[in-house]
Amino acid sequence: MTLEAVRPVDQATAPGALERAVRAEIVEAEDPERRVRRTMRRMRAWVAEHPRLEFAYRAGVGAVGTAMVVGGLILVPLPGPGWLIVFLGLAVMGTEFHWARRVAAWLKSLLDRFWVWWRARRTRKAAAKAAADQVRMSGGR
């Protein structure tokens, strides 16, 4: 394969552009993350072509994701990565189920709102405590 066959470029108007384009394509093709993603997409497309395998795959993804979510919810009140495991389980299920992606997004926004409320509450309590300490130090005035 010649360089011209890869990407035709008018070399008179863009000297060196062809070589740069070919080098960029080689680097892109050698990127391990892109290779892995491309391979995973091909494997998933192959599974999608086989209805029984597709059903088994989706059932397996659902079972693994559900087990992770339930395990994470059990761990939430305990010290450890409970919420992280819940979100990972939803991410696993979100690869196959649209409702899981929506639930994960809703849960993330709910958790974000909770943390904003919690930090504001802590700030208010600290300010009230500082004001009370100031009053006590000044002798009740």
pLDDT of residue 17: 75
Who wins on pLDDT, 57 or 3? Answer: 57
How far apart (Å, rounded) are the C-alpha atoms in residues 96 and 102?
12
Whole-Å CA distances, 4 to 12, 14, 24, 25: 13, 13, 15, 14
Q: For the CA atoms of the chain, what is the radius of gyration?
A: 28
pLDDT tens digit string along 23-56? 777 766 667 777 888 888 898 899 889 989 999 9
pLDDT tens digit string along 54-99? 999 999 999 999 999 999 999 989 888 988 999 999 999 998 999 9
How far apart (Å, rounded) are the C-alpha atoms in residues 85 and 104?
12
